[in-house]
Amino acid sequence: MENIKKNFGFGFMRLPMQGEEVDIPETAKMVDAFLGAGFNYFDTAHGYIQGKSETALKTVLTSRYPREKYILTDKLTDCFFKTQADIRPFFESQLEACGVDYFDFYLMHAQSAEIFKHFKACRAYETAFELKKEGKIRHVGISFHDRAEVLDEILREYPQIEVVQIQLNYVDFDDPAAQSRKCYEVCRKHGKPVIVMEPVKGGNLVKLPDAAKQVFEDLHGGSPASYAIRFAAGFPGSLMVLSGMSDIKQMKDNISFMRNFLPLTDAQMEAVRKVQDIFRFMHRIACTACRCCTDGCPQHLPIRELLEQVAAELKKKEEPET
């Protein structure tokens, strides 16, 4: 972990697209700007962008820069293995797809109570620890999507876990359903560094409702993304905050305030609390558009689009009749 530069990472989940394909020239510009600003942490997974994230990363990063220039994280996802025997071939295919000989971090992906059972039955953790001994993984961790007590159980059962990736943003932090605060506290209890995913909640904290947008505008400086990302990065034990940027404009904005990171001031934290209250009042559906549920859905349902339809219907019912 000592080779990580700064506390802001480039998530390869929401890359710029040209139709159904990754926009390689635009993504390469973003990678160049990111590395040029002194950052070096990249995050991917085999299921991102229907399998195109890893190969795009090879094209724009690993084939263009020496290995010591970047830190790379990949993940083991439950839908890509049925038995322990499937894991090593899948892992080797990921190394090949990314164009590297080892991963700096390898995460047991999207852990929940049910998915953890599958990983245990297939001895996925034990396999990852073996790969670490062989030098093909530098650090083994998890990404997590469940209740805090499940996270506590996993960390007690596998204390060798070195890092935990959790969803943390100012809307979800005190949400009893998301349990971001409780999960963060479990990480601190076990002494595990935290990697933050979804700091802008899939873009929901960038494209703000008018009332929330005005709160930040009254501060006279800083984009909505800057307050969300700096909120997530300001916690003790926060190793890395990921952002899935989809154009060079977003990249440049994020670089502008994370190149020399400063925690939120008291006045800025007070503004964040006001925006939290606005979102609570609106009863927003907690979808971050990560599409992990879509990629793993056996029926191939457009889950996010269905949620949006439900949200629209609920909004109609809440509106007074005229």
Could you read off the pLDDT of 195-248 as tens digits, one per residue?
999 999 999 999 999 999 999 999 999 999 999 999 999 999 999 999 999 999
Q: Quick check: 18 pLDDT over 70?
A: yes
Which two three-digit tokens encode residue 78?
């439950």
pLDDT at 155: 98
Could you read off the pLDDT of 75-97 as tens digits, one per residue?
999 999 999 999 999 999 999 99
pLDDT at 149: 98
17: enclosing H helix or E strand: strand 17-18
Question: What mean pLDDT comes out for the span 163-180?
Answer: 95
Q: Quick check: 250 pLDDT over 90?
A: yes
Confidence of residue 286 (pLDDT cuts 50, 70, 90): low
- What's this model's pTM, rounded to 2 decimal places? 0.88
pLDDT at 1: 83
Question: What mean pLDDT comes out for the span 291-295?
Answer: 61
pLDDT at 90: 98
Which two three-digit tokens encode residue 19?
């139709």
Helices (H), the chain: 24-36, 52-57, 84-98, 113-121, 124-133, 148-157, 180-189, 210-217, 224-233, 248-258, 266-282, 292-295, 303-318
pLDDT at 277: 94
pLDDT at 282: 85
C-alpha 189: how far from chain center: 22
Pairwise CA distance, residues 290 & 210, whole Å: 24
The residues with which 103 forms a beta bridge, in sequence order, are 137
- Please give the backbone phi and psi of residue 110, each rounded to the nearest 5 degrees, phi first: 50, 50
Confidence of residue 294 (pLDDT cuts 50, 70, 90): low
Question: What mean pLDDT comes out for the span 286-300?
Answer: 61
Question: What mean pLDDT comes out for the span 165-192?
Answer: 96
Pairwise CA distance, residues 267 & 227, whole Å: 11
- Mean confidence (pLDDT) of the chain: 93
pLDDT at 318: 55
Q: Quick check: 193 pLDDT over 60?
A: yes
pLDDT at 2: 79
Lowest mean pLDDT among 149-153, 198-202, 207-211, 281-285: 281-285
Cβ atoms of 14 and 244 within 8 Å: the answer is yes
Question: Residue 322, class by beta-carbon neighbours within 10 Å (0-12 exposed, 13-18 middle, 19+ buried)?
Answer: exposed
Closest C-alpha to 161, from 152, 148, 170: 152
